[in-house]
Every structure is written in structure tokens, then in C-alpha cells.
């Protein structure tokens, strides 16, 4: 140590820092590796000399790969089906500052012969293990005789086809590779070795000689490195390292993304940087010197990561980008399907996938998006009817995917991405490409997402809906015709988004407060409407010519505890989802008189027609104090959750009518197919009729 300190003229503070880190994470370097350092903080230094940053790491875990959970017997990790990692030593020629097993090296209890035999018995008992990776620590730190003992035992196990040794010794202590050692190793072929070089400076006459001896003993040599910030995190350094390795007969095997190990955060780089390295090599130099880039993930094991060469693919073709950025198209051989009936269609099921909300957006932001299980269930239902279906996410590449996909039809459950008329986006793109789809069209989707416009149309057609006022600003003058309590909603959101317990306001002050919050959180005007005290119903409508009203659903609120308002709010949904709630708040069919049932159905059908809905729709209605059903919300894209336990209301109503989930999907689909061809004409007729009224 003294030697190091004086050679680089370290200050007292620098020496103190090193000593401090050493107490937490041991340090070990030999004089050979030290001699490779050219100057303070160079790539060699960084790998072996403690840095105070090791103690500043607050983000990472001690054992990020949770290797312990795949350890059936001590010192053996059985993570993959046909291979096992056998940790035979906990010593290394040096302690790399970035080591994944940082918590273990240099401090673990000794590995006894007992342990070794025990692990080898496990291997013997598990016939599926055909590849044993002898690792550590560093197995070459064992005495020749012990190493030979292990190799001999492993070789005697019939199902162990190959033995691999993972070692950093040829790089960090090349004199350990002796003639005697090579003579032992070559008796246990097929034996492979994975070495560990991180930087071109490590390829010296000494390490080259060690690799030459191993190669001449007939051992195929590979290299595993880690992308390390400040050491090798550039395409130039990596390329030089890989070229030099090939010259000493070592094939680059894996290039790892750094694990999230406590004490090593200062070495970590972004995944993009790793992909850039690979992209800068691929095509520009031989494939021989390009390793696979790997993220070793907790839970998922090793996962290869490639730059985005595949731009798009479907069953027929794949669109690729070559190393010069040129776009290349490749066409698959034609697949013969059993479905030869001429009316089998190729359908895209189009959806938006639910994501976790990011910071700074309301927790119900993605409430309307779907779990993957929904489009999957729809696809299954369509395929059972003899069609061919693919899942297509309605993301920003949607247009390209549709254009390339050759679809005959779309089953649309996508909500669109941004903006006040987002539910129209998918219909608009599809009409542009002349691809027919299920559900309502551009205008209806835009109108029904806008509560104020919907109400205007309903009122025009004489359909009851609560009195309302739209607030573009919280301080707007309040319409004197309105009477409290009022319910405040974002003007252009799906059914219950932004509707919370405190959305019900009883005076001006509360109203202003709530309006202000809605405008701020949802970045759109707030709609305040009179709150109706009566019963609440949901009505599903399916089909056209004529549309069919499904059994009516009643939403009950009587069981709610004091303080939770009796309407369909976020809190109420939360309360329902609570498995301890013994009451089913959704009653279907609703217990109502014939007369009320007739009134509700008529209102719903009138609204369906007035708004131009097709194929399917879900409507919420409430009774006012005269018992008249008022339309409070229209949803042209009702949720289609397949699981009855989800209490998704449109399916619930269909189930009550005796339909299965597959029947719901295929009814909607068949209605859309029947309608197709007429749809454009019908819409034109409606528009003409409307404009002549004005």
C-alpha cells in the first residue's frame, strides 16, 4: 500500500478515504495488476483502487440477482434448466471494485470439501444439468490438486457434457497459468473457459502468454466484460478491447449491463449506451468480435438486448433497419391456414395498454386503458368464430402498423392517446385507410367524450339530462338557474375519471374549489351539473336495426357508510373492490316496475339514435325527483372485461341476458360487419338531414 501511496503521491485525505472504504469492502490487488496503472484514476486504477463513491451508493441492493433464491445447496446456483453455476472458491487474485458478488468476496466462510461434495451430489442427482460453470470467486485461486479433484469428479458424472471455468486470473494474475495447470486442464475436455478482460490495457505480453498456453491446451476461450463508466463505456475502447482479444484467441462472449449492486453505482451506465456500443460495432467490424449484450435481471435472468434492427413485424413481413440505417423489407413464406372459408377475416384487435401512472399525473389517469387480458380474450373469441386476429396497440406507430398490416377489419377498444377528442383518433385513421371497424364513428366518439356537447344534443332531441354549466375558469359567474348540490366532473373524460367523493358540492365556495382542482389536474374545463337524488341505472345497448336494450343494471348506494356520497365515485369503486364488502352493489336485472323499465329503455334508445351510436354503447341514467330517467353519461366504448368478477357493467348485463363472453364479442363484431358498407351512406344521410334543419 505504501508503495501505491508514494508512487502516486496521494494526499492524506485520499489515503484516509481509501482506508475507510476498505473497512466496508475489502481491497486486494497484486503487484502485477498494480503495475498496469499508468496514472491515478485511469481505467485500471478504477477497477482495483477503492473509491469513496462506493460508500455513497444509496440506490442499489446487496444481492440484486437474488441468487440466493436459486441456491438448492450451498455454493451451487441452479437458475437455468440445463446448467448450474458452481461456486468453488471465494478468493480472487484481486477484488474488483464493481464485482457483483462484492458482498461475498474476501469475507465468506471457507468452502469445505464437504460443501463441494454436497454440491456435486446435487449435480449427480439432476440429470438435466449438462453444463457446469465452475466459478467463484475465482476457481484458479485453488491449488492445482483441489481444482483437479473437482474437475475429475465432475467429469465422472455422465450427464455433465461440458465443463466451463469462469476466471479473471489470466487477466489479473497471468503467472498463475502454468504448464502444470494447463496439463491438468486438458485432461478434462470438453472444457471451456470464460475470461474477464475489461480494458485493452489489460492485454499485455504476460496475459497474452497465459491465453496462448490455455488455447494451446485446446481450451476454447471466451470473454465476459461489463460496461463500466469511466473504464470502457465507449464504442472505441470496446472495439479495441475486442480486436485485441481476438488476436490472443479469445472470443468476446457476453458484454453485461452492470448489475445494481450496492457500492457500484458510480460504474453504472444507461442501457442506451450499451446498445450504442453494439450498434457501432455491428456491420462495421466482424461478427466474431461482437459479444451479446446482456442485462442480468432479477427475476428474468440473462436477457439479450439488441439495438432496434426490427422496426416492425407481422405474420407476412418484417421491416428491418441495416447498419447504415437503410430500411429493408423481408417477406415470409406464405402460411397455409386451415381456415380456407372465404369469409374468414384478418382482424386487428386495437387497444391501449394500461400503464402505471408516472409522477405528477392523477392516479386515475390510465383508468380507461385495458389490461392485456381484455384484447387477448377478444382475439380468442374472434378466432373461435374462424377468423384470424392479431393484437395491435394503439400507440404512436399505429398508423404505420395499420398500413403495413393488411387487415380486413378492426375490433376497436382503444381510447386514443391525447386531446379532447382522442376517442376519434383510431376511427379517423381507420377511415382514412378504408379499414372498417366495430363501434361508433369519429363524430359520435368525439361528441360522447365531451359531456357538454352530449347534453346539447340530448336536449335538442328532448331527452332529459340534468341542468349544467361549463366552467373554463374557477372564477366564472355561476348561473342562477342552477340549484345545489352540484356534481363537478372533468368535461371530457371517461365515465368516472376525476369523479371523487368531494365532487359533490353544496355551496359556491366548494364549487369553486372543486372546479379549480379539476381544471388544474385534468387540464380541461369542468362541468357542473345538478345532482339528482334518485336511483341510478346503467343500460347496455347492442346492435343496430334495431338496437337491443340489455337487462338494466341498478347501482345501489344504500350500504355505503356515512360520509361517502351516494354516486359512482372513485371512493365508491374502491369500496366495492374491497373483498370485505359483503354487498353486491350491482343488481342485474334491476328490480323496477314495468313502467319504469319501459321509460328507461325508451330514453336510452332515443339517446343512442340521437348521438349516432352503433354496435354497442353503455349509458348511465338517474331518476330525478319526478321519477323521470335523465341521461348522465354516455360511453360509446364500454369496458369489455371478460372476468365476471370484475363487475364490468356492459358484459354483466349481457351475461344476465344469457350471452357468453364469446357471444358478446361476436355479436358486436357481426353487427359491425353487417353494417359495414352502409355506414358511410347512412352517416351522409344523417348529416344532410341535420344541416337542412339549421
The residues of the shown chain that bind ligand SF4, judged by CB under 6 A, are 92, 95-96, 99, 101, 105, 136-138, 168, 196
Q: Closest CB to ligand PLP among 221 and 347?
A: 221
Q: Closest CB to ligand PLP among 85 and 486?
A: 85
Minimum distance of ligand PLP from residue 650's CB (angstroms):
47
17, 138, 233, 259: the catalytic one is 259
Minimum distance of ligand PLP from residue 133's CB (angstroms):
5
Cβ atoms of 491 and 453 within 8 Å: the answer is no
Minimum distance of ligand SF4 from residue 520's CB (angstroms):
51
Binding mask 273-302 for ligand PLP (x = CB under 6 A): -----------------------------x
62: left (phi over 0), alpha (psi -120 to 50) or beta: alpha
Total residues contacting ligand PLP by CB under 6 A comes to: 7
Binding partner of residue 96 among ligand PLP, ligand SF4, none, CB cut-off 5 to 8 Å per kind:
ligand SF4
Cβ atoms of 539 and 600 within 8 Å: the answer is yes
Distance set, CA 275 to CA 118, 233, 318 (Å): 41, 11, 21
Q: Closest CB to ligand PLP among 261 and 505?
A: 261
Residue 96 a catalytic site member: yes
Q: Which residues of 191-219 are buried (b: 16+ CB within 10 A; e: fewer)?
A: bbbbbbbbbbbbbeebbbebbebbbebeb
Minimum distance of ligand SF4 from residue 60's CB (angstroms):
16
Minimum distance of ligand SF4 from residue 503's CB (angstroms):
57
Cβ count within 10 A of residue 369: 17
Q: Closest CB to ligand SF4 among 110 and 324?
A: 110
For ligand PLP, which stretch binds (CB under 6 A), given 80-88, 206-214, 395-403, 507-515?
Answer: 80-88
Please name the residue that has the C-alpha cell 389536474.
521
d(CA 11, CA 672): 79
46, 91, 97, 101: the catalytic one is 101
Binding partner of residue 539 among ligand SF4, ligand PLP, none, CB cut-off 5 to 8 Å per kind:
none
96, 171, 289, 613: the catalytic one is 96
Which residue from 4, 105, 133, 505 is in contact with ligand PLP, where contact means CB under 6 A? 133
Q: Closest CB to ligand PLP among 77 and 290?
A: 77
Minimum distance of ligand PLP from residue 171's CB (angstroms):
18
28, 79, 516, 601: the catalytic one is 79
Strand partners of residue 486: 505, 530
Binding partner of residue 76 among ligand PLP, ligand SF4, none, CB cut-off 5 to 8 Å per kind:
none
Residue 79 a catalytic site member: yes
Q: Closest CB to ligand SF4 among 99 and 367?
A: 99
Distance set, CA 76 to CA 64, 254, 402 (Å): 17, 21, 50
Binding partner of residue 85 among ligand PLP, ligand SF4, none, CB cut-off 5 to 8 Å per kind:
ligand PLP
Which residue from 77, 541, 555, 623 is in contact with ligand PLP, where contact means CB under 6 A? 77
Minimum distance of ligand PLP from residue 96's CB (angstroms):
17
Q: Which residues contact 413 (CB under 8 A, 6 or more apart)?
A: 349, 350, 351, 370, 374, 375, 378, 439, 637, 640
Local structure of 300: helix, strand or coil: coil
Residue 101 a catalytic site member: yes
Q: Closest CB to ligand SF4 among 173 and 414?
A: 173
Cβ atoms of 542 and 615 within 8 Å: the answer is yes
Q: Which residues contact 428 (CB under 8 A, 6 or more apart)?
A: 442
d(CA 119, CA 157): 12
Cβ count within 10 A of residue 474: 16
Minimum distance of ligand PLP from residue 223's CB (angstroms):
12
Strand partners of residue 616: 542
Cβ atoms of 293 and 306 within 8 Å: the answer is yes
Residue 95 a catalytic site member: no
Which residue from 44, 85, 116, 165 is in contact with ligand PLP, where contact means CB under 6 A? 85
46, 83, 164, 262: the catalytic one is 83
165 binds ligand PLP (CB under 6 A): no
Strand partners of residue 435: none
Chain-centre distance of CA 259, in angstroms? 19
Q: Closest CB to ligand PLP among 242 and 570?
A: 242
79 binds ligand PLP (CB under 6 A): yes
For ligand PLP, which stretch binds (CB under 6 A), given 75-83, 398-406, 408-416, 522-530?
Answer: 75-83
d(CA 577, CA 674): 38
Local structure of 335: helix, strand or coil: coil
Minimum distance of ligand SF4 from residue 203's CB (angstroms):
17
Residue 289 a catalytic site member: no
Binding mask 35-74 for ligand PLP (x = CB under 6 A): ----------------------------------------
Minimum distance of ligand SF4 from residue 107's CB (angstroms):
12
- Shortest CA distance to 243 belongs to which of 253, 252, 233? 252
Binding partner of residue 99 among ligand SF4, ligand PLP, none, CB cut-off 5 to 8 Å per kind:
ligand SF4
Cβ count within 10 A of residue 457: 18
How many residues does the structure list for the chain? 694
Q: Which residues contact 171 (CB under 8 A, 6 or more apart)?
A: 195, 196, 197, 198, 202, 207
Cβ atoms of 437 and 483 within 8 Å: the answer is no
- Where are the strands (E) in 212-249, listed by range? 221-226
- Residues in 295-354 at the binding interface with ligand PLP, rule: CB under 6 A: 302
28, 32, 57, 80: the catalytic one is 80
Binding partner of residue 560 among ligand PLP, ligand SF4, none, CB cut-off 5 to 8 Å per kind:
none
Cβ atoms of 164 and 191 within 8 Å: the answer is yes
296, 364, 370, 568: the catalytic one is 296
Which residue from 8, 80, 312, 474 is in contact with ligand PLP, where contact means CB under 6 A? 80
Cβ atoms of 633 and 451 within 8 Å: the answer is yes
Residue 92 a catalytic site member: yes
Cβ count within 10 A of residue 79: 16
Binding partner of residue 83 among ligand PLP, ligand SF4, none, CB cut-off 5 to 8 Å per kind:
ligand PLP
Q: Closest CB to ligand PLP among 84 and 668?
A: 84
- Shortest CA distance to 412 belongs to which of 137, 615, 229, 223? 615
CB burial of residue 23 (10 Å; 0-12, 13-18, 19+): exposed
Distance set, CA 379 to CA 392, 434, 660 (Å): 11, 21, 15
83 binds ligand PLP (CB under 6 A): yes
Q: Which residues contact 523 (CB under 8 A, 6 or more apart)?
A: none
Minimum distance of ligand SF4 from residue 105's CB (angstroms):
5
Local structure of 73: helix, strand or coil: strand
Q: Closest CB to ligand PLP among 19 and 161?
A: 161
Q: Which residues contact 663 (CB under 8 A, 6 or more apart)?
A: 654
Residue 182 a catalytic site member: no
25, 48, 91, 92: the catalytic one is 92
Residue 57 a catalytic site member: no
Binding partner of residue 514 among ligand SF4, ligand PLP, none, CB cut-off 5 to 8 Å per kind:
none
Binding partner of residue 409 among ligand PLP, ligand SF4, none, CB cut-off 5 to 8 Å per kind:
none
Q: What residue ranges bind ligand PLP (CB under 6 A)?
A: 77, 79-80, 83, 85, 133, 302
> Which residues are the active-site residues?
79-80, 83, 92, 96, 99, 101, 259, 296, 302
Amino acid at each position: 500500500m505504501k508503495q501505491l501511496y508514494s508512487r502516486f503521491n496521494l494526499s492524506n485525505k485520499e489515503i484516509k478515504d481509501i482506508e475507510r472504504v476498505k473497512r466496508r469492502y475489502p481491497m486486494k490487488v497484486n503487484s502485477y495488476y498494480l503495475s498496469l496503472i499508468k496514472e491515478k484514476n485511469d481505467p485500471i486504477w478504477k477497477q482495483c483502487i477503492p473509491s469513496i463513491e462506493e460508500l455513497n451508493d444509496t440506490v442499489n441492493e446487496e444481492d440484486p440477482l437474488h441468487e440466493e433464491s436459486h441456491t438448492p445447496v450451498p455454493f451451487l446456483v441452479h437458475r437455468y434448466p440445463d446448467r448450474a453455476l458452481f461456486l468453488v472458491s471465494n478468493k480472487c487474485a484481486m477484488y474488483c471494485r464493481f464485482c457483483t458478488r462484492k458482498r461475498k468476496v474476501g469475507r465468506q466462510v471457507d468452502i469445505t470439501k464437504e460443501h463441494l461434495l454436497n454440491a456435486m451430489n446435487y449435480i449427480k442427482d439432476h440429470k438435466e444439468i449438462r453444463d457446469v460453470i465452475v466459478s467463484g470467486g475465482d476457481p484458479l485461486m485453488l491449488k492445482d490438486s483441489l481444482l483437479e479433484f473437482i474437475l475429475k469428479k465432475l467429469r465422472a458424472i455422465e450427464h455433465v457434457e461440458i465443463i466451463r471455468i469462469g476466471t479473471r486470473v489470466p487477466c489479473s494474475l497471468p503467472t498463475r497459468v502454468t504448464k502444470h495447470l494447463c496439463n491438468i486442464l486438458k485432461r478434462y475436455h470438453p472444457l471451456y473457459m470464460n475470461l474477464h478482460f475489461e480494458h485493452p490495457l489489460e492485454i499485455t505480453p504476460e496475459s497474452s502468454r497465459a491465453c496462448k498456453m490455455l488455447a494451446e491446451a485446446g481450451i476454447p476461450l471466451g470473454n465476459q466484460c461489463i460496461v463500466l463508466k469511466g473504464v470502457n463505456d465507449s464504442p472505441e475502447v470496446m472495439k479495441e478491447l475486442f480486436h485485441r482479444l481476438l488476436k490472443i484467441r479469445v472470443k468476446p462472449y457476453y458484454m453485461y449491463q452492470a448489475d445494481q449492486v450496492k457500492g457500484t453505482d458510480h460504474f453504472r451506465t444507461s442501457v442506451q449506451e450499451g446498445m450504442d456500443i453494439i450498434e457501432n460495432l455491428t456491420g462495421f467490424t466482424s461478427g466474431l468480435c461482437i459479444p451479446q449484450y446482456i442485462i442480468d435481471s432479477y427475476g428474468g435472468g440473462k436477457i439479450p438486448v439488441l439495438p432496434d434492427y426490427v422496426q416492425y413485424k407481422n405474420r407476412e413481413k418484417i421491416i428491418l433497419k441495416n447498419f447504415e440505417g437503410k430500411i429493408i423489407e423481408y417477406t415470409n413464406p406464405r402460411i397455409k391456414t386451415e381456415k380456407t372459408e372465404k369469409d374468414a377475416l384478418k382482424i386487428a384487435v386495437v387497444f391501449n395498454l394500461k400503464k402505471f401512472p408516472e409522477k405528477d399525473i392523477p392516479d386515475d389517469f390510465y383508468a380507461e386503458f385495458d389490461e392485456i387480458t381484455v384484447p387477448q380474450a377478444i382475439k380468442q373469441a374472434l378466432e373461435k368464430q374462424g377468423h384470424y386476429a392479431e393484437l395491435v396497440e394503439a400507440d404512436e406507430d399505429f398508423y404505420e402498423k395499420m398500413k403495413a398490416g393488411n387487415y380486413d377489419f378492426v375490433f376497436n377498444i382503444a381510447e386514443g392517446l391525447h386531446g379532447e377528442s382522442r376517442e376519434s383518433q383510431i376511427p379517423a385513421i381507420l377511415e382514412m385507410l378504408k379499414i372498417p371497424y366495430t363501434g361508433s364513428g369519429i363524430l359520435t366518439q368525439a361528441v360522447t367524450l365531451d359531456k357538454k356537447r352530449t347534453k346539447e344534443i340530448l336536449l335538442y332531441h328532448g331527452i332529459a339530462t340534468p341542468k349544467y354549466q361549463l366552467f373554463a375558469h374557477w372564477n366564472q359567474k355561476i348561473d342562477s338557474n342552477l340549484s345545489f348540490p352540484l356534481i363537478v366532473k372533468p368535461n371530457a373524460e371517461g365515465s368516472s375519471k376525476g369523479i371523487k367523493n368531494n365532487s359533490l358540492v353544496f355551496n359556491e365556495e366548494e364549487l369553486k374549489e372543486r372546479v379549480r382542482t379539476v381544471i388544474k389536474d385534468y387540464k380541461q374545463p369542468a362541468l357542473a351539473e345538478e345532482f339528482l337524488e334518485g336511483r341510478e341505472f346503467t343500460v347496455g345497448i347492442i346492435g343496430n336495426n334495431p338496437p337491443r336494450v340489455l337487462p338494466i343494471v341498478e347501482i345501489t348506494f344504500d350500504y355505503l357508510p356515512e360520509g361517502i356520497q351516494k354516486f359512482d365515485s372513485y371512493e365508491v369503486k374502491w369500496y366495492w373492490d374491497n373483498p370485505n364488502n359483503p354487498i353486491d352493489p350491482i343488481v342485474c336485472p334491476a328490480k323496477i316496475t314495468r313502467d319504469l323499465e319501459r321509460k328507461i329503455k325508451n330514453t336510452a334508445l332515443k339517446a343512442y339514435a340521437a348521438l349516432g351510436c352503433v354496435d354497442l354503447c353503455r349509458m348511465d341514467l338517474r331518476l330525478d325527483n319526478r321519477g323521470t330517467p335523465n341521461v348522465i353519461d354516455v360511453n360509446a366504448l364500454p369496458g369489455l372485461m371478460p372476468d365476471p368478477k370484475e363487475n364490468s357493467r356492459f358484459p354483466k348485463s349481457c351475461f344476465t341476458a344469457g350471452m357468453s363472453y364469446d357471444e358478446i364479442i361476436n355479436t358486436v363484431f357481426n353487427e359491425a360487419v353487417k353494417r359495414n358498407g352502409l355506414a358511410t351512406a347512412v352517416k351522409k344521410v344523417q348529416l344532410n338531414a341535420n344541416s337542412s334543419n339549421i
